[in-house]
């Protein structure tokens, strides 16, 4: 039988706790306050916990870096121009026949 741990007023296995953290949604401040009240956790205990622990959202994004999707998109357009798949004229891009086919086959992009 798996070892059970006590977490936030619940008794779970480590696997259940990990799955719960990955799948649960972020709580609104009102939902958080209601849960803390229901679990009998005082505002002081909650504040102390938050000083020493990451939120679920922070835990999910650890090791990940936020990116600018427009930078990625712009670089991809430039790469497609280098491949000869796109032709740039001013601010507009036009697909070559080969480019339309390759973009569809490789990336599922329908132009």
Write out pLDDT tens, residues 22-71.
777 777 889 888 888 888 888 998 888 878 877 777 776 777 777 889 99
The structural domains of the chain, with segments of one domain joined by +, span 4-61, 69-107
Cβ distance 87 to 96 under 8 Å? yes
Mean pLDDT of 61-85: 88
The residue count of the chain comes to 111
> Is 28 strand, coil or helix?
coil
Return the closest-CA partner of residue 10 out of 45, 38, 34: 38
Q: Poorest-confidence range of 11-20, 23-32, 47-56, 90-99?
A: 11-20
Give yes or no for a contact between 3 and 14, defined as CB atoms under 8 angstroms apart. Answer: yes
Whole-prediction pTM? 0.46
């Amino acid at each position: 039988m798996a070892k059970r741990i006590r977490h936030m007023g619940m008794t779970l296995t480590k696997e259940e706790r990990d799955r719960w953290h990955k799948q649960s949604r972020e709580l609104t401040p009102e939902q958080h306050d209601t849960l803390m009240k229901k679990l009998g956790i005082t505002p002081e205990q909650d504040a102390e916990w938050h000083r020493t622990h990451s939120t679920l959202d922070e835990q999910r994004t650890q090791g990940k870096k936020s990116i600018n999707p427009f930078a990625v998109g712009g670089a991809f357009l430039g790469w497609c121009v280098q491949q000869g798949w796109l032709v740039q004229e001013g601010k507009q891009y036009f697909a070559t026949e080969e480019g339309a086919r390759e973009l569809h086959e490789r990336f599922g992009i329908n132009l």
